[in-house]
Structure 1
Amino acid sequence: MPLRKPPYRTWVALMVMFTTAVNYNFRTFFPVALIAIVDKPKSQTLDNGTVISVPQPDYGPRYSWKPHEEGQLIGSYFYGYTFGSLIGGPTTEFFGPYWTMLTSTFICAAITSLSVLVVMESWIPLFVTRVLVGLVGGVQYPALQCLIGRWAPPNEKGKFVACLMGNVLGTVITQSITGVIVSNFGWNWGFFSTAFITVVYLTLWAIIVADSPEKSWLCSKEEVEYISECHQGSVKATRSKKPPIRQMATSIPFLVLIVFQFGNLWGLYMLLTVVPKFMSDVLEFNLKSVGFLSSCPSLARLVFGFVFGGIADFLLQREILPKVVVRKGFAVISHVLPGVTLFMFLVIGKTVWLAVLLLVLVMVFNGAAVVTCLVNAQDLAPNFAGTQYGIMSFIGSMSGFIVPAIAAEATREKNDLAHWAIVFCISGALYAGCGIVFILFGSVTIQPWNEKADTESAPTTANT
């Protein structure tokens, strides 16, 4: 029996995964390279009491930047990324996802490679270049939402959106490879390596991807017709001059989705920022000492994102459950269960393995976000999924500043389990509460503001 040829949209889905990996390559190579740039003299005390300086590895010129300057450099990408997300949707809906991704990735690689020329005693020039990379990179996730809206049939969006979690692979692979490159060739090659990856990526993107199935020269006519029939006229690959911001601002389903995504990002930022500090300070647990275990939570979220995406698509394709039941049912898993699990950190004592297990469980449950908050924008208005996602990310990313501030304030007097209870109670309640808001008031119905006039077509892609 001959093997069944996968539909062409499968290759587009894989490019979505590759895109998120490349996007995170630009984010996560930098902290590793920065270690080799900053001058941190070390000393060693001999048996006779003599203190000698320990030479640092020669990875290239080093600079004596202060700790707070180093922290600003690490966070610089996200200053730009937050605002890039906000403009990403309208940009993509005007120029199309094909050219938006092609251009933004090239600019990110060019700025990153040229950044080695501005590494100097003053940290400001490098800070500026990292903000610019974040600003340009911020348009990419909204662009992918727009692309998914055009390529994925409604009952297959779970698997497509799960491909957004390719960022986990991008993080793990990038940080491993960057460490090897910097150790052998110097920190400047950590920057240059992004250019090599970009060349491979842009070549594949230019060949495989198009703004829509109708504009692809490789997608079969039968598949184009099938995707079009599945969309039932809800998706139009035409240029949008102005997103319906006023209608969106007064749309209850979209406002509920913003709350829903805010809870999702609150939980993620809490796990990525303050939970490691809790485990180190209170549980006396060093994440670096367990090696691979430190990446288990994120890897678990990646794997179960595909599991939940496949289950949801199966339920929708077989019409076992209506879409509203699937979205709100999985909201219990993606938001409510992680919130409940966070409360369990308060009763585990100093059991290290149980702390790791709970952390993994939170991320396993949150893998269901691929069929809840990460895909609901496609339900409401696939024509403006990019704009929706950009606004959601802009507001949701604020939790990245709020969570650490709350943790610092709550543990100011004493850094113990009792004071950390405040942090976990707030986070668990908010995580679960945002999920409950969606369960009560969320919608999966196409909104009236999804419609847009058929003006001129989006810019023609290279593969039309």
Structure 2
Amino acid sequence: MPKVQARTVLWYLVFLGFAVNYMIRINLNITIVEMVMSKTKNLQQRFIELNNDDGGGGGGLVRDQNRFISLNKQFSVDFNTSISNASLIELESHNLNSTNSLPSKWSGNAVELNNLTVKYVNQTFYKKIETFSIEKYLLRLFDIEYNKLGFEWNEYQQGLVLGAFFWAHWVTQIPGGILAKKFGTKIVFGLSNATGCWMCFFIPIISYWDYRALIWWRVIQGLICGLSWPAMHVLTAQWIPPNERSKFVTAYLGSSVGIAIFYPLFGYIISWTSWEWVYHICGMVGTFWWLGWLILVYDTPALHPRIDENELSYIQKSLGSSVQTSKENYTPWKEIVSSRPVWMNVIAQWGGIWGLFTLMTQAPTYFKVIHNWDIKTTGILSGLPHLMRMIFAYIFSIFGDYLLRTEKMSRTNVRKLATTFCCIVKGCVVLALAFYGHNSIAAIIFLTIATMFHGAVSSGPLASIVDISPNYAGIVLGISGMIGVLPGFISPFIVGILTLDNQTNESWRYVFLITAGMLITSGLLYVLFGSSTLQTWNTPLKCKDDKEDYLLSTDTATKHNIYKDQNCIELLNQNNENN
């Protein structure tokens, strides 16, 4: 029986790690749909929910449904007419079980109509509100009042809550790469992920305290989780041969599968229990992953106690001298920040992340508010695009590595081809979403296809960062992430402003038009000016010494050995041209 390669085990642990990482990011995106008190409560949806859930409320109200519809028609009230929160609060101020205590403005059949409505609210809506959670139990135990209808957060406040994770997320991007280079990815990525998960345990009770406290808790959570992505590139550079990077980097898109799985799962959890349990499950899942990560992952192949000797030899030979094994303190900051390939990757990541985060963060609200899907359907529809994203990423990565292995296309052109799909083509699909999203089926199709195309990022900008500098990939990704993550809070802020008291197809069209513009512009710039060739500053000290040896040596064999080092070819060629 063939032995499982250490790289394969590493791929799965990294894959699960990024799934956990995005679980932390997106849990609030779907729970906020149930956390917040809706401005309208659709009666038809409530009757459907009651018909599907006969536990406790009984079938009495269901049998009254025809009478309810008849009375609605009699009073010229359409069955889809919603009862506002104001009406619910007015009803709540009376004895919900007493006809005599109803407002005097209702009489006769109107009273009967209202009684049925009140009965529905009492048996279904409040029944769901009172579903057990640890936080509600503690609040009742200490006699602390809370709004059973949900939190009264407007769209602007919701935008702040959703975007808070990314407010300080950019701050730890560069430190994440530096710390991983010094202490190893195992500790930095592992603790970043695990701590973020453990913080989820406290989100429900903090939400009941004050939305501003929740904002700052999410800020801290985002700050800690910001260490994770750049730290991983350090591990990739140490473990993965150049022609396998496109495929390995698909493990980063465990984030997509995480979204695809956790969105529907969270939707069902909320439907079965309450939104608070979502965060407790996140904390438990993160703890189990952390234990596996500690046992099975090592920072370099040489440190792995169970790696096969042939695999170790293959990795070391493939990487050659492009990766430093010593932890040198010198970092060529000037060369990095003035490098055009670095900034083209930053630009491509900016556009791609703007598109990804906008669709990822806003999808649950968009499907719930604009297309009126229930929470379970919303979870499925919000997660499906990211499953397609992972599948597309895997297929494209195999194709990209084939092009590199057979030398049918240069490394730079493979990365540009991938960026064309993850930015330009995706942007065109988002344009279609902007103009045809009013149709529910079209909205699902276009959002799914747009997110799917973003999977090519693993063979594009993400892989290119390791291509141009394996030794400083963590730091370069930190710079890219520091700037590229800004759309994570800028986009929700803009969406909050555009949709404030204006949840319409027209306002969402502007959201998608802005997103499409970011994607297409960033993609075009990368295709025109990007490069994925190994940069001379990847090993600056070694190249400098080799250059001096090359100039001083009179021995042809010595010059030839120096010239064979791929890291210094460009520098030496420049010297030859000058001489």
Q: TM-score, normalised by structure 1?
A: 0.83
| Equivalent residue number for residue 460 of structure 1 | none
Tell me the CA shift for residue 277 of structure 1: 7.3
Change (3 A) 1:373 1:120: same
Change (3 A) 1:48 1:312: closer
In 2, Cα distance between the equivalents of 1:97 and 1:266? 26
Match of 1:49 among 97, 114, 124: 114
| Equivalent residue number for residue 459 of structure 1 | none
Tell me the CA shift for residue 211 of structure 1: 0.7
Tell me the CA shift for residue 119 of structure 1: 6.1
Matches within 5 A, 1:320-399: 320-345=408-433, 348=436, 350-399=438-487
Q: Report the residue type matching 1:47 in the other structure.
A: E
Match of 1:59 among 120, 127, 132: 132
Change (3 A) 1:299 1:319: same
Match of 1:121 among 206, 209, 221: 209
Tell me the CA shift for residue 371 of structure 1: 0.5
The answer (yes or no) to whether the contact 2:259–2:383 under 8 Å persists in 1 is no
Matches within 5 A, 1:127-142: 127-142=215-230
Change (3 A) 1:414 1:123: closer
Residue 300 of structure 2 corresponds to residue 212 of structure 1: yes
Match of 2:8 among 10, 14, 21: 10
In 2, Cα distance between the equivalents of 1:132 and 1:387? 21
Local SS of the residue matching 1:383: coil
The answer (yes or no) to whether the contact 2:353–2:485 under 8 Å persists in 1 is yes
Kindly provide the CA deviation profile for residues 107-148 of structure 1, in whole angstroms up to 9, marking residues without a partner as x: 334433356675653444444333222211111111112211
Kindly provide the CA deviation profile for residues 66-119 of structure 1, in whole angstroms up to 9, marking residues without a partner as x: 405565444332324232334212221221101112332343344333566756
| Equivalent residue number for residue 315 of structure 1 | 403
Larger Rg: 2
In 1, Cα distance between the equivalents of 2:401 and 2:285? 32
Residue 538 of structure 2 corresponds to residue 450 of structure 1: yes
Residue 283 of structure 2 corresponds to residue 285 of structure 1: no
Worse overlay, 154-163 or 29-38: 29-38
Kindly, what percent of the aligned residue pairs are identical? 26
Kindly provide the CA deviation profile for residues 145-188 of structure 1, in whole angstroms up to 9, marking residues without a partner as x: 22112111111111111111111232343344455666777666
In 1, Cα distance between the equivalents of 2:253 and 2:210? 36
Local SS of the residue matching 1:67: coil
Q: Report the residue type matching 1:10 in the other structure.
A: T
The answer (yes or no) to whether the contact 1:84–1:134 under 8 Å persists in 2 is no
| Equivalent residue number for residue 24 of structure 2 | 26
In 2, Cα distance between the equivalents of 1:30 and 1:277? 11
In 1, Cα distance between the equivalents of 2:387 and 2:359? 14
Matches within 5 A, 1:31-430: 47-49=112-114, 52=118, 54=122, 55=126, 56-60=129-133, 61=136, 63-64=146-147, 65-68=151-154, 72-113=160-201, 121-178=209-266, 189-241=277-329, 243-272=331-360, 285-286=371-372, 288=374, 291=378, 292-345=380-433, 348=436, 350-403=438-491, 424-430=512-518
What RMSD in Å do the two structures reach over aligned CA positions?
Answer: 3.6
Worse overlay, 303-312 or 441-450: 441-450
Worse overlay, 29-38 or 265-274: 29-38
In 2, Cα distance between the equivalents of 1:128 and 1:66? 18
Point out which structure has higher relative CO (alpha carbons under 8 A, 6+ apart): 1
Q: Report the residue type matching 2:12 in the other structure.
A: L
Q: Report the residue type matching 1:58 in the other structure.
A: T
Tell me the CA shift for residue 9 of structure 1: 0.4
The answer (yes or no) to whether the contact 2:434–2:510 under 8 Å persists in 1 is no
Change (3 A) 1:288 1:304: farther
Q: Report the residue type matching 1:104 in the other structure.
A: S
Q: Report the residue type matching 1:24 in the other structure.
A: Y
Local SS of the residue matching 1:15: helix
The answer (yes or no) to whether the contact 1:36–1:59 under 8 Å persists in 2 is no
| Equivalent residue number for residue 77 of structure 2 | none
The answer (yes or no) to whether the contact 1:59–1:183 under 8 Å persists in 2 is no
In 2, Cα distance between the equivalents of 1:70 and 1:353? 27
Change (3 A) 1:255 1:196: same
In 2, Cα distance between the equivalents of 1:26 and 1:274? 16
Gaps of 5+ in 1: 455-464
Kindly provide the CA deviation profile for residues 12-44 of structure 1, in whole angstroms up to 9, marking residues without a partner as x: 011110101111232333455667767888567
In 2, Cα distance between the equivalents of 1:35 and 1:410? 18
Tell me the CA shift for residue 402 of structure 1: 3.9
Q: Report the residue type matching 2:475 in the other structure.
A: T
In 1, Cα distance between the equivalents of 2:36 and 2:371? 26
Local SS of the residue matching 1:227: helix
In 1, Cα distance between the equivalents of 2:444 and 2:465? 33
In 2, Cα distance between the equivalents of 1:102 and 1:349? 40
In 2, Cα distance between the equivalents of 1:218 and 1:79? 41
In 2, Cα distance between the equivalents of 1:401 and 1:137? 15
Tell me the CA shift for residue 376 of structure 1: 1.0
In 1, Cα distance between the equivalents of 2:37 and 2:438? 36
